[in-house]
Amino acid sequence: MSNRPSRISTDLDFAREGKQEGFLRLPHSVHRSAYGYLPIPIVSIRSGKGLRVLLTAGNHGDEYEGQIALTKLVRALSPSDVSGQVIIMPMLNFPAAQAGMRTSPIDEGNLNRTFPGDADGRPTAMIAHYVESVLMPQVDVSLDLHSGGSSLLYIPGTLARHQADEKRLETVLAAVRAFGAPYSYLMSGGEDRGILSAADRAGILGLSAELGGAGMVTRETLAVTERGIVNVLRHLGVLSGKVEPHTTRIMRVERAPHYVYSPDPGLFEPLAELGDAVRKGQLAGRVHFPETPWREPAPVHFLGDGLVVCKRVPARVERGDCLYHLASDLAH
Ligand code: CA
């Protein structure tokens, strides 16, 4: 992370009590607007003592469950509901969210592969830098809401990083259980450019979620999302009331054996559905070649045992596109 201060400014005073609505102003000087800025919506609701929580969605702009849930939350919450502080950003990578795209149309930036960001970088890098260097140092918890976006569909679940430290792991699992999604995915190692890694670096509790996807929302995925946010805020004591109990099946995701990729460009015929228990070597599907229809389809096999928790949505595939990913029960 560059040591330079962020160039993003805001009218909000995060130390002030009460409800403030406004924007982060990201300087954006372009042909049609020489002295313009990108207005990233942000709301702070602060009252008295308590934990401070950063709630974000639209990190990937085509993931809508969290964007809707946080928009509803902004309108529903008053300072009198809150003990501590919530900072709410429904469109974290604003240009991507505005375009309904995973990545920003301005700089092609994938925000969740950009942390810790760069104060002097392109807009996506500037947002990552602001989150990690300005927002995270003043909160205790970061909850960032994702889904499968346009190309993937998930069984709704929370997502967290496995923690080597037992105490930190228990803190994460307590929040995961409070959220109460049907599934909870624990990831080991891997990606360090995401917001969960930023939370780890900041020494705060980081929680994410994969709440559905396929470029849509459903009543079910939205209900899981809204309930989960309120439950986590109650669990943290930021909202009053009891956590509504729901059981969650805690799963681990392993990088290599749990992911299935297309070996060729073509049309994918899936042979497994979300929720299926599959075995290593089982046929996952076939890639067909309508450009050469007499050619045999390419078989695709699962590389490990597990439960299908995520699948690709569009049938048209390129070599290297993720078709499925699996998860296994944590205890196993
Ligand atoms: Ca995502």
For 231-285, the pLDDT digits (tens) are: 999 999 999 999 998 999 999 998 789 999 999 999 999 999 999 999 999 999 9
d(CA 25, CA 10) in angstroms, rounded, equals 6
Crossing angle for the helix pair 219-235 and 65-76, to the nearest 10 degrees: 50
Calculate how far, in angstroms, residue 147's C-alpha sits from the geometric centre of ligand 1: 5
pTM of the model: 0.97
The pLDDT value recorded for residue 180 is: 97
Is the pLDDT assigned to residue 332 strictly greater than 60? Answer: no
With left for phi above 0 and alpha for psi between -120 and 50, is residue 237 left, alpha or beta? left
Query: What separation in Å is there between the alpha carbon of 308 and the centre of ligand 1?
Result: 18
Task: Let me know the angle formed at the C-alpha of 73 by 154 and 251, rounded to the nearest 5 degrees.
Answer: 30
Residue 1 confidence (pLDDT): 52
The whole-number average pLDDT for the span 68-94 is 98
Catalogue all structural domains in the chain, each as residue range(s) with its CATH number.
9-253 (3.40.630.10), 261-329 (2.40.50.100)
* 293 alpha carbon – ligand 1 mean position (Å): 35
Task: Tell me how far the alpha carbon of residue 85 lies from the centroid of ligand 1, in angstroms.
Answer: 25
Q: Which residues pair with 58 in a beta bridge?
A: none
pLDDT of residue 297: 98
How many angstroms separate the alpha carbon of residue 148 from the centre of ligand 1? 6
Which pLDDT does position 2 carry in this prediction? 58
| Residue-wise pLDDT tens digits, 123-161 | 999 999 999 999 999 999 999 999 999 999 999 999 999
Average pLDDT over residues 190-219: 95
- 3-state DSSP call for residue 291? coil
Beta-strand relationship, 249-253 and 183-187: parallel
Q: Tell me how far the alpha carbon of residue 146 lies from the centroid of ligand 1, in angstroms.
A: 5
Give residue 149 CA to ligand 1 midpoint distance, Å. 6
Check if the beta carbon of residue 104 is closer than 8 Å to that of residue 26.
Answer: no
If one counts every other C-beta atom within 10 angstroms of the C-beta of residue 119, the result is 18
Instruction: Determine the distance separating the centroid of ligand 1 and the alpha carbon of 48, expressed in angstroms.
Output: 33
CA of 310 to the centre of ligand 1 (A): 12
**Mean pLDDT confidence for 161-170:** 93
Chain-wide mean pLDDT for the chain? 96
Cα 73 to middle of ligand 1, angstroms: 20
Residue-wise pLDDT tens digits, 89-128: 999 999 999 999 999 999 999 999 999 999 999 999 999 9
All residues at 6 or more sequence positions from 288 whose CB lies less than 8 Å from its CB, including other chains: 266, 267, 268, 269, 297
Give the distance (Å) from ligand 1 centre to CA of residue 18.
31
Ligand 1: centre distance to CA 157 (Å): 12
